[in-house]
Amino acid sequence: MNDGDLDALLSTPLGDVADAGFSKRVALAVAQREGWRERLTTYAPIAATAAVVPFLPGAQIAEAASHLTPLIANSVALSIAAAALILTISFEQRLREWQFAL
């Protein structure tokens, strides 16, 4: 047996195996598990934030923000960073739209 015969043997598709739906059940279980993990990674931070927010000192945070806002607004470095972030996000969205159109 040479390399060409081995490649031909390994590249031929296998026939369906009669497994009484086992493969479909396994694929469904894997998909459900992945969905559960995705929901957990999405909603766990939201739940943690919602649990912590009532205990934060809102008046002190608002006061600090009111003192810091003029300093942030006059910062050239933060303005450039914000512009770069906005441009990056816009470019990424355009790229996704372009890829989706293909």
Is the domain of 65 the same as that of 47? no
Write out pLDDT tens, residues 27-85: 899 888 888 888 888 899 999 989 988 888 888 888 888 888 888 778 888 889 988 99
CB atoms within 10 A of CB 43: 11
Q: Please tell me whether residues 37 and 66 are part of one structural domain.
A: no
Q: Is residue 5 part of a domain?
A: no
- CA distances to 26, 88, 90, 96 from 100, rounded to whole Å, are 30, 18, 15, 6
| Residue 21 confidence (pLDDT) | 87
| Domain match, 50 and 63 both | no
Measured in Å, how far apart are the chain's first and last C-alpha atoms? 42
Q: How far is CA 101 from CA 44, 56, 64, 94, in A?
A: 33, 45, 46, 11
- Record the pTM: 0.38
**Shared domain check, 61 and 25:** no
- Quick check: 87 pLDDT over 90? yes
10: in domain: no
Determine whether 9 is exposed, middle or buried from the number of CB atoms within 10 Å of its CB (0-12, 13-18, 19+). Answer: exposed
Distance CA 89, CA 98 (A): 14
